[in-house]
Structure 1
């Protein structure tokens, strides 16, 4: 199933958009979130967590690389460590665990790593537009 589309969304409608993405991913999935600093990657993860019924405070795992929430949501931030650091940390194996793996800063090099290990993934590229965001979505386009 290869779906590509764009959606413009503001913060008030972000939970509904996250619910839409969750339904497209199914019961599990790896999702790369890409965008400039302060583009809304963590805001999307917070909205996604709400769709899972998680009440915990969600924060970016900038220095710890991974935050896990209720064995349902795995939130990665690979800005500091990059693909090599992610690989050296052994976290590539974590992607096999059932649940939603949302990875901030998953660039082309990281995509090559996922291809190498046969990990199927989806992407969302986020562009800022004043108080809204343009989301370019590719669901299960890569394997």
Structure 2
């Protein structure tokens, strides 16, 4: 199923509410793809905020992983190759119950996760002049 949203930043709640509804019945891995500053971390930040959680959400670029309220996992693989990510034991992290957001997850990671039987959703973010185009493939 594919769904698109073209939104200004102050309209992001429309996408987040849809995402919360989509993710509520199961554990998912959400792969976020988009250029630098396209809004990947902003999407995760709004997701956590909409759930009324008080966690401080920042990009885990240098820490590789952040965990919010015990069951929302946030990864950034921008500085890592897939082999490095696997060698660090990060694939095992996906076994933990919850929602996992992966910034910069490429097609190879997506394929591996699907082969392992994980529920994977891809969100591609494209920068427009004053908006973002979000394409969700679930």
TM-score range relative to shorter protein: over 0.9
Q: CA deviation at 1:51?
A: 2.2
Which segments of structure 1 move beyond 3 Å, counting only runs of 4 or more? none
2:114 — aligned with what? 115
How do 1:89-100 and structure 2 match up within 5 A? 89-100=88-99
TM-score normalised by structure 1 residue count:
0.89
Secondary structure of the corresponding residue to residue 74 of structure 1:
strand
Residue 92 to residue 127, structure 1, CA distance change in 2 (3 Å): same
Task: Say how many residue pairs are matched.
Answer: 137
How do 1:46-125 and structure 2 match up within 5 A? 46-125=45-124
1:7 — aligned with what? 5
Residue 53 to residue 72, structure 1, CA distance change in 2 (3 Å): farther
- Whole-Å separation in 1 of the counterparts to 2:88 and 2:134: 30
Unpaired segments of 5 or more residues in structure 2?
Answer: none
Unpaired segments of 5 or more residues in structure 1?
Answer: none
TM-score normalised by structure 2 residue count:
0.92
Secondary structure of the corresponding residue to residue 94 of structure 2:
helix
Q: CA deviation at 1:107?
A: 0.9
